[in-house]
């Protein structure tokens, strides 16, 4: 198992959350805590998932809860550069249509900055 590293960076128009490693039952609370501390009501959250190699159901729950909270607060959750293994989890659980997923971090940042995401 790889170590989970989560960083939150507050930018002018959004919060960037970078996730590295595996998200599973042993550390999903770490992700949840980082997101809760970093979230700013009404502001988009962009998750850079380019270095997230695994996602289980507890990590998926964090993403869905974050999505719901962001919508409730007038913001949005945008996922960027989802890797094959986490993508497969999103696909088999049929949540791809509920989440805003962008092929690159640049695409997600542009969508957030330009208000192209849906709340």
Cα dist from 68 to 3, 12, 72, whole Å: 27, 22, 6
Tokens 């964090």 belong to which residue? 62
Domain assignment present for 54: yes
CATH (domain of 54):
3.30.750.24
Domain assignment present for 84: yes
**Whether pLDDT at 1 is above 80:** no
Structural domain containing residue 43:
5-113
Q: What pLDDT was estimated at residue 90?
A: 97
Structurally, how many domains does the chain consist of?
A: 1
Q: What pLDDT was estimated at residue 59?
A: 97
Domain assignment present for 40: yes
**Whether pLDDT at 56 is above 60:** yes
pLDDT, tens digit, 9 for 90 and up, residues 64-119: 999 999 999 999 999 999 999 999 999 999 999 999 999 999 999 999 999 876 54
Cα dist from 4 to 22, 25, 97, 112, whole Å: 6, 11, 26, 25
Domain assignment present for 62: yes
Q: What pLDDT was estimated at residue 115?
A: 85
Q: What pLDDT was estimated at residue 23?
A: 97
Q: What pLDDT was estimated at residue 88?
A: 97
Domain assignment present for 23: yes
Q: What is the CA radius of gyration of the chain?
A: 13
Dihedrals φ, ψ of 95, to 5°? -110, 0
pLDDT, tens digit, 9 for 90 and up, residues 20-34: 999 999 999 999 999
- H or E stretch including 43? none
């Amino acid at each position: 198992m790889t170590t989970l590293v989560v960083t939150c960076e507050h930018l002018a128009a959004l919060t960037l959350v970078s996730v590295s490693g595996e998200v599973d039952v042993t550390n999903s609370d770490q992700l949840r805590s980082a997101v809760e501390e970093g979230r700013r009501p009404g502001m988009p959250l962009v998750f850079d998932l380019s270095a997230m190699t695994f996602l289980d159901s507890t990590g998926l729950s964090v993403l869905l809860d974050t999505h719901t909270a962001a919508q409730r607060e007038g913001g949005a959750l945008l996922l960027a550069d989802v890797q094959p293994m986490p993508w497969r989890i999103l696909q088999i659980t049929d949540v791809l249509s509920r989440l805003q997923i962008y092929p690159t971090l640049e695409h997600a940042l542009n969508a957030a900055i330009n208000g192209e995401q849906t709340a």
